[in-house]
Structure 1
Amino acid sequence: MIDVTLENFETEVIAASMTQPVLVDFWAPWCGPCKVIGPLLEKLEVAYRGGFKLVKIDSDQEQQLSAAFGIKSIPTVILLMNGQPVDGFMGALPEGKIREFLDKHVQPGTDAEDEAAEEEAPLAPGDAIERLSQACAAAPDNDDARFEYVRALLLAGRNDDAKVAFAPAIARTGLVRRLDSLQRLMDAIDFADSGKVTLADADARIAANKRDFGARYDKARLLMAGQRWTPAMDELLEILMRDKTWNEDLARKTYIAALDIMEPVRAKVADGQIAPDDPTVASYRRRLSSVVLS
């Protein structure tokens, strides 16, 4: 696996793809699903024994490359051959689905399947979602189970499935905070999908008027839809620092929604990469308290 920047992109991706398929993983350090799919892709690169080359691009650090590929959400994986993108997918797919994707274009080594079968595969995102689905079906009134299930679907990019899974809980949205948080994220995704406002539009409005809270709120929702939690909360904090109760407390409620969605992802990353008391989450909780109580 190679980290690619604008400086080495031509060599490591375009030139390399002339002789070998190159799989490009667009990711970011804050992205929970990226931390799930990344190890799967690395495992498959080994299992396919040179069938493809894996490279990673930090979408935050390499925004020019992200824009060139039209990246709208992460993780996004794109396969290049002969210098051109030929296929791709978004979201943290389970290992079996990634293999199906690769097998359409890549010829693995002769013993790749045997080698992979000898290893005990980690719990793939699709398997985890299936278990959450079963838990939700077994206890349909368990709001915690439904939150985890719908959240997992949203973070995997399965937005339509998430809406179906959320439907039985809609009546409780106003009563259960974490269900309200899910609704706010789904609204943000719908807003982003509508294409009515882009990040560039919002930035231009903010540059013209730093107190354009509507523009800041639009930007925060677009960032949330792209699972860019901390930049989204930074925008919401800018609103709160200037007007704590703006638009019937909308900024604070949306900020809390981002924390609710963000925290379970970080708490469940394996190998101690991010502890349950993640300092980023704790820091943003403290920042909210400081602003609201000041």
Structure 2
Amino acid sequence: MIDVTIENFESEVIEASMHTPVLVDFWAPWCGPCRTLGPILEKLETDYKGRFKLAKIDSDQEQQIAGMFGVRSIPTCVLMFQGQPVDGFMGALPEGQVREFLDKHLPPAGPEEEAPAAEEAQAEAADDNDLQTRLDKLQQAVADKPEDEQARFDFIKLLLEMGLEDEAKVAFAPVIALAGTSQRLNALKIWMDALDAASLAGDANAKLKALDASIAQNKRDFEARYARAQLLLAYNHWTDAMDELLEILMRDRSWNEDRARKAYVAILDIIEPAKPPVAEGQIPPEDPTVATYRRRLSSVILS
């Protein structure tokens, strides 16, 4: 695995792919699904013993490269061979599906890469995949206790992270009436509304350019700013979406019945990772990105 920047992109991706397929992983430190997919890709690079090379690109730091590939959401993976993109996928796929993707394009394993022993193969199959296992457990938890808001939130969030929007809407339907009184459920509704808006918007890049032009003409075009934030949210550009919402809040804190602040808080709820267990009396550490953006919101609201 290698971290790629604009300075070494030519040598580590284009030139390297002339001889060995290169799987380019566009990610960001704040992206929850990226943290799920990353270890899977690193494990597979080891398992495949040189049949492909993993190149990781921080899409926030290397926006020029992300733009070249038309990356609209993260994680996004693109397989390069002989200097050209061959195929790709978006979202945090389970390990088994990533293997299927790689096996379609990579040269077959050599004789030295013998199949693992039966017990090892069974262990890998059991792990296959952790995402599906998590999904099944959460689905069962919701079935056992339909009133458990935390379980339902985690279940729907994972469905959305995996790109299963229709399934997420079905799971959300029984509690949609509670979104007005539950901050967490409202966060899911705001996320799904953004995905629906992005679907109706068509070409995301063209829509963003049109919104940017409207904002350039009128800095107080809050409808355009909110639509831009929605589009960024839909494509998992969480911090960019919050930056845009802050632009609204700095100019009008209560615009449209507090809509910008509610969307901002929704994103914080979505991106905040689960708290690790801690000793009694201790406060669990807060995610750095979440902490930073909470402070920014407070400074605007309280100023």
Task: State the TM-score, normalizing by the size of structure 2.
Answer: 0.86
Is the alpha carbon distance of 1:30 and 1:112 closer, same or farther for their aligned partners in structure 2, counting shifts above 3 Å?
farther
Residue 257 of structure 1 is matched in structure 2 by 266
1:135 to 107, 132, 141: 141
Instruction: Give 2:24's aligned residue.
Output: 24
Q: Report the Cα offset of residue 186 of structure 1.
A: 0.6
User: In the alignment, is residue 285 of structure 1 matched against residue 294 of structure 2?
Assistant: yes
> CA, structure 1 residues 247+96, in 2 after alignment: closer, same or farther (shift >3 Å)?
same
Structure 1 residue ranges (4+ consecutive) displaced by more than 6 angstroms after TM superposition: none
* Of 192-201 and 22-31, the range deviating more from structure 2: 192-201
SS of the residue corresponding to residue 29 of structure 2 reads: coil
Give me the whole-angstrom Cα distance separating, in 2, the residues matched to 1:44 and 1:108. Answer: 13
- For 2:159, the equivalent position in structure 1 comes to 153
The equivalent of 1:271 in structure 2 is: none
**Quick check: 190-199 or 119-128, which moved more?**
119-128
Q: Is the 8 A contact 1:22 1:52 kept in 2?
A: yes
Q: Displacement, 1:287? A: 3.0
CA RMSD in angstroms comes to: 2.3
Question: Counterparts of 2:24 and 2:36 in 1: how far apart (Å)?
Answer: 16
CA distance in 1 between partners of 2:80 and 2:190 (Å): 36
| AA of the residue aligned to 2:20 | Q
Distance in 2, Cα, partners of 1:240 & 1:214: 13
> What is the CA–CA distance in structure 2 between the aligned matches of 1:12 and 1:26, rounded to whole Å?
15
User: Residue 233 in 1 paired to residue 242 in 2?
Assistant: yes
Deviations 1:176-202 (A, max 9, x none): 221111010011111122226622222
Question: What is the match of residue 281 of structure 2?
Answer: none
The corresponding residue for 1:79 is 79
1:60-100, Cα deviation, whole Å (9 max, x unpaired): 22222222222111101111222222221111011111111
Residues 1-294 of structure 1 mapped to structure 2, 5 A cutoff? 1-106=1-106, 107-109=108-110, 110-111=112-113, 113-114=115-116, 117=121, 124-195=130-201, 198-264=207-273, 267=275, 276-294=285-303
Structure 1: 5+ residue stretches without partners: 269-274
CA distance in 1, matches of 2:109, 2:175: 45
Distance 1:188 1:26 in 2: 22
Q: Deviations over 1:114-145 (max 9, x none)?
A: 28747895972232222211211221222211
Q: Give the letter for the 2:273 counterpart.
A: P
1-side partners of 2:45 and 2:172: how far apart? 36
**Which string of whole-angstrom CA distances, capped at 9 and with x for unpartnered residues, describes residues 33-77 of structure 1?**
111111110110010001111111222222222222221111011
**SS in structure 1 at match of 2:226:** helix
Kept in 2, the 8 Å contact 1:37–1:92? The answer is yes
Separation of aligned partners in 1, 2:115 and 2:232: 39
2:226–2:245 contact (8 Å) kept in structure 1? yes
- What is the CA deviation profile of residues 236-270 of structure 1, one whole-angstrom value per residue up to 9, with x for unaligned ones? 122112111111111111111111111136x46xx
Alignment CA distance shift 1:53-1:251 (3 Å): same
Identity percentage over the alignment? 60
In structure 2, stretches of 5+ residues that fail to align are 277-283
Q: TM-score, normalised by structure 1?
A: 0.89
